[in-house]
Structure 1
Amino acid sequence: MTTHPDELAGRVLSTTQHPWRFALLVMLALELVLLVCLGAARLFLPNVPLIALDLPILLLNAIFAALLLTRLGWWRAAGFRALQRPRDLILLALPVALLIVPALVVGVDVPPFGKALALLVVTLLIAFQEEAIFRGVILHGLAPLGTLHAVLGSALLFGVIHANSLLVGRDPAFVAVQVIGSILGGVGSAALRLRFGSIWPLIALHTLNDFIQFSASQGLAVEQASPVLLIAKLGISSLMALYGFFLLRGTEMRMWPVSAQSAAAP
């Protein structure tokens, strides 16, 4: 059954009239995916460690993000389009330096090829689903609130969702830093997303960040994070927040036109 373009445009307009309700419903859907997966694992796979559910949950979240973007017709609005000004990539110089320089100083070991390849696939999946949802769907959905409110709102929700790591057995200290760091880093990421007009550079940056982080912690579990890793994460995230506020100067939040034509074409 095909949705009429006018009906789809009306649905998109309805979400923008209640930005916070829309954003919280998206968060609720993510929580339901997680809780259903954890509940099913407890019931049918009691001997499987919960941390092993990371990949299935990531896949489900990625599918959810793709379905939501398709249903709303927001692929282009969420930033899945070509970079309009390639010279803007220079804005990634500072974030990339903030990730690579500390890694070189601390001496993060690159995993063996097979493990590195698997880690790259997982971090790409993490980056796609988190950027699509938070710097794509939620940031765009909060746009009617204004630039600063949309950026701060998406960053806050991005941090809150990371508290779920406690449910799969990650180190509480690491999770606390992860929540705070994600809020701070989310400000910088959202600002970059607005400056680029494209989400692809953010997916690449997010992948690099997680690849370095998980390489430093020797895997995804992070049962006990080192103090150096926690301090580095907070420091980098704080600098990213400051960088984000700097980039937001004079940056306007432009809504993608909500019309029958734009809503119908992903």
Structure 2
Amino acid sequence: MTSPRTAAIGLGLADIAVTTLGALAVAALFPSASAWTARLIVVLVLAAGVAVLLATTRVWRTTGLREPRLLWLPALLAVLPLVGGVRLPGAGLLAVLVAGYAATGFVEEALFRGLIPGVLRPTGVWPSVLLSSLLFAAAHLPNMLFGQAPAITLAQAVGTFCFGVGYAALRLRTGALWPLMLLHFLTDLFLRVDALPAWAHWTVMVGGDTALLVYGLYLLRNPLVPPPAEAGVSPRR
């Protein structure tokens, strides 16, 4: 019988494999496609696969949003980049960004705050939070295949680990995924269309990830884990 950690790592590696193979396939089949278009194609494939997994599990079922007040910090951090104004790209790129980030929010929250923590639940709260966050960070390493600089990618991996801890804690305390998907989408999108100078943009991004890490550790002092039928990955009957 597969152990929870092995199953969770398998899901994480599957995400990395699909992203890697997808990036290579898009580059071979559509060599003139922009990096953003290539990302969109790959994330839509991932979204389809994750949707199938959700359809066969109970992860999408929750008891409703508990303690909604706890979402104040991620909501604030999501809109913070807009304090300097908005700089919109062309309509075509904006449509790609909106679609891509919406799909990304769905995929990453469903997988790394839903399916994988559900598999890891028998291992305890801390192993579940830390391993799911490490896998979330590793899932961003293939971004180098879309032309992202290695140094930026490594920095992104560290930031996404911090982000993952915060969102995993919120998942445990609130019991819901959909609000996290929405906040994740808005966070990514607003960081792409903000009009902040470079130093302020990076300060907001790094500061936000750090704040989420600290907030997550604070919330994990008393996590409210969803009931087994909601948190685990068991076939729907």
TM-score by length of structure 2 reads: 0.86
Count of matched residue pairs: 234
After superposition, what is the alpha-carbon deviation per residue over 1:123-157, rounded to whole angstroms, capped at 9, x for unaligned? 21110011111001111111111111111111111
Which of 140, 155, 158 is residue 118 of structure 2 equivalent to?
A: 140
* Structure with the greater alpha carbon radius of gyration: 1
1:69 & 1:94 partners in 2: Cα distance? 27
Runs of 5+ unmatched residues, structure 2:
none
2:16 & 2:85 partners in 1: Cα distance? 36
Matched, 1:27 2:5: no
SS at match of 1:164: helix
SS at match of 2:161: helix
Contact 2:36 2:96 (C-alpha < 8 Å) held by counterparts: no
Matched-pair identity in %: 32
SS at match of 1:167: helix
Runs of 5+ unmatched residues, structure 1:
1-13, 219-224
In structure 2, the partner of 1:256 is 228
For 1:52-71, what aligned pairs fall within 5 Å after superposition? 52-71=37-56
Shift of 1:232: 2.1
Which of 54, 76, 87 is residue 97 of structure 1 equivalent to?
A: 76
RMSD: 2.7
Shift of 1:67: 1.7
Shift of 1:239: 0.5
In structure 1, the partner of 2:214 is 242
Cα gap change, 1:112 to 1:89, in 2 (>3 Å): farther
Shift of 1:252: 4.3
1:63 & 1:263 partners in 2: Cα distance? 18
1:157 & 1:138 partners in 2: Cα distance? 9
Matched, 1:171 2:149: yes
Which amino acid counterpart does residue 200 of structure 2 have in structure 1?
A: V
Cα gap change, 1:27 to 1:217, in 2 (>3 Å): farther
Shift of 1:203: 0.6
For 1:48-197, what aligned pairs fall within 5 Å after superposition? 48-71=33-56, 73-74=57-58, 78-81=59-62, 83-85=64-66, 88-104=67-83, 106-110=84-88, 116=94, 118-197=96-175
1:176 & 1:27 partners in 2: Cα distance? 17
Shift of 1:50: 4.7
Cα gap change, 1:234 to 1:167, in 2 (>3 Å): same
Structure 1 outlier segments of 4+, above 6 Å? none
Shift of 1:115: 5.6
Cα gap change, 1:205 to 1:147, in 2 (>3 Å): same
After superposition, what is the alpha-carbon deviation per residue over 1:224-246, rounded to whole angstroms, capped at 9, x for unaligned? x9343233211110111111111
TM-score by length of structure 1 reads: 0.77
Shift of 1:195: 1.1
In structure 2, the partner of 1:233 is 205
Shift of 1:27: 1.9
SS at match of 2:141: helix
Contact 2:81 2:194 (C-alpha < 8 Å) held by counterparts: no
In structure 2, the partner of 1:4 is none
